[in-house]
């Protein structure tokens, strides 16, 4: 008996191809392009929704290309490599439009046709990541998780990682000292320091390191090209390290230099962060994101700014170059330390950074009757449910929302519009080529 075939109608949130079975139930299929006819292997089956992966492409799209990575389809990372880059951009736009048109707020539905700007492409489609995290599974395979699995696909290089990272990985994996450490590892992160082009290795260890472990770590630092610092971290012990040569002790932090961005900034700014802290992995596209955010903020010397989820100052520092004052708030202590250090080193006297949970901080600011001309918010993937009323009170003129998840963006924008904001700009960016992820900058104004 032949397998049933499905016609892919469109792509939806998550990068799935949408189809329907003979009973009208929705089927979401991975690894497809609109217009294709495919068979599918089902992986989830519910009463009204089924999920699957493409088993056989019966009628391929003219856009379909061979994936450049030999592990594509096994590794759980990339999911758009079967399309050329212009096709990826177009489909991401259509996914975002679809979410907006399905939103409960009528202004959002109109925005899909009237406000949504063309997606800003990444200058690099491959080798753009300055950080990768690898897992070590129970069989001691080092790599990325398979889709829907804790088992790993072993890798020796990654097409999304910077060349320095791949070179380090190829030296690291066969090294005898690494083999002695691997049975006690849960995973590891390789981080490129953009300003120095040197590498930091953060090893996630299952137990507190012993003298023999430290000996192996030090040997790796001595013998691997470009690797200058190693840290060990685990659930049951504090960060161990840095393990490095004495002359490298100033390299335990990472940094990139943001170039001048006229008319917003007139000088370069150094943005540094601690190992284990957060910085956008696509640094060239991060510069585009910063510039887009500055364009939306339109900050002046007479205006105050509130930066929520400020991190190490990715937006706070360049905005402080023009603002009267900047208050940055973040829940992570290391990020606040970095933000303060970065601002001090830039000689900025108009910034303040506080460590607080964001919802708690907004409640406190409302009680203090604080107001800010502009508010910038860059939340994690879950967004900021239930915060719209506080943001409306705190913001005098403009709110700029930077989103890494278009579904939670639509939910939060709907709540903000219900409070009385007006949406004036929607600018998507492609921060993660070869994947379905979409970054969006939204400008809302009080009228």
pLDDT along the chain (447 residues), means of 10: 85 95 90 96 81 93 96 92 98 96 89 94 97 95 90 95 96 97 96 94 94 96 93 88 70 89 97 91 97 98 98 98 98 96 98 97 97 97 95 98 96 96 97 97 95
- Nearest residue to 254 (alpha-carbon basis) of 228, 224, 217: 228
Q: Residue 44's pLDDT is what?
A: 77
Check for a shared fold between 1-64 and 131-244. yes
Long-range contacts from 234-239, C-beta under 8 angstroms, 24+ separation: 234/186, 234/204, 234/205, 234/206, 234/207, 234/208, 236/207, 236/208, 237/205, 237/207, 237/208, 237/209, 239/276
> For the whole model, what pTM was predicted?
0.94
In CATH, the number for domain 1-64 is 2.40.50.140
Q: Residue 277's pLDDT is what?
A: 86
Q: Residue 321's pLDDT is what?
A: 97
Classified as helix, coil or strand, 97 is helix
Q: Residue 248's pLDDT is what?
A: 52
Q: Residue 21's pLDDT is what?
A: 87
Report d(CA 287, CA 400) in Å as an integer. Answer: 16
In CATH, the number for domain 131-244 is 2.40.50.1070
Run of H or E including 327: strand 325-330
> Catalytic site residues?
404
Domain ranges of the chain: 1-64, 131-244, 255-446
CATH topology of domain 255-446: Rossmann fold (3.40.50)
């Amino acid at each position: 008996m032949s397998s049933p075939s499905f016609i892919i109608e469109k792509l939806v949130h998550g990068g799935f191809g949408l189809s329907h079975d003979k009973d009208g139930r929705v089927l979401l299929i991975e690894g497809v392009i609109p217009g294709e006819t495919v068979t599918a292997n089902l992986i989830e089956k519910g009463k009204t929704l089924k999920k699957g992966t493409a088993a056989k492409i019966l009628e391929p799209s003219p856009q379909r290309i061979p994936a450049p990575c030999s592990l594509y389809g096994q590794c759980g990372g990339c999911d758009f490599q079967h399309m050329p880059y212009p096709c990826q951009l177009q489909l991401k736009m259509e996914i975002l439009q679809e979410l907006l048109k399905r939103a409960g707020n009528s202004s959002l539905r109109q925005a899909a046709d009237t406000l949504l700007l063309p997606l800003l492409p990444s200058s690099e489609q491959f080798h753009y990541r300055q950080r990768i995290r690898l897992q070590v599974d129970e069989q001691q395979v080092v790599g990325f998780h398979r889709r829907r699995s804790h088992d790993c696909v072993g890798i020796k290089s990654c097409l999304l990682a910077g060349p320095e990272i791949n070179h380090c990985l190829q030296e690291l994996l066969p090294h005898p000292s690494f083999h002695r450490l691997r049975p006690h590892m849960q995973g590891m992160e390789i981080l490129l320091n953009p300003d120095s082009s040197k590498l930091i290795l953060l090893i996630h260890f299952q137990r507190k390191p012993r003298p023999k472990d430290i000996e192996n770590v030090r040997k790796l630092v001595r013998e691997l090209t470009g690797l200058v610092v190693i840290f060990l971290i685990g659930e049951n012990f504090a960060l161990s390290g840095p393990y490095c040569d004495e002359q490298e002790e100033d390299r335990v932090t990472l940094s990139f230099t943001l170039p001048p961005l006229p008319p917003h900034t007139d000088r370069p700014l150094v943005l540094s962060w601690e190992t284990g802290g957060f910085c956008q992995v696509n640094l060239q596209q991060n510069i585009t994101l910063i510039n887009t955010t500055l364009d939306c903020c339109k900050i002046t010397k007479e205006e105050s700014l509130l930066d929520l989820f400020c991190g190490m100052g990715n937006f706070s520092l360049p905005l402080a170059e023009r603002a009267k004052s900047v208050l940055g708030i973040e829940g992570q202590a290391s990020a606040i330390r970095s933000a303060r250090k970065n601002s001090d080193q830039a000689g900025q006297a108009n910034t303040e950074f506080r460590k607080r949970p964001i919802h708690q901080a907004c409640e406190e600011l409302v009680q203090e009757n604080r107001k800010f001309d502009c508010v910038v918010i860059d939340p994690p993937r879950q967004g900021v449910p239930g915060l719209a009323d506080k943001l409306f009170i705190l913001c005098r003129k403009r709110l700029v929302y930077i989103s890494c998840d278009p579904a939670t963006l639509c939910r939060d924008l709907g709540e903000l519009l219900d409070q009385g904001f007006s949406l004036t700009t929607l600018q998507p960016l492609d921060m993660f080529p070869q994947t379905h992820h979409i970054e969006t900058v939204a400008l809302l104004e009080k009228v």
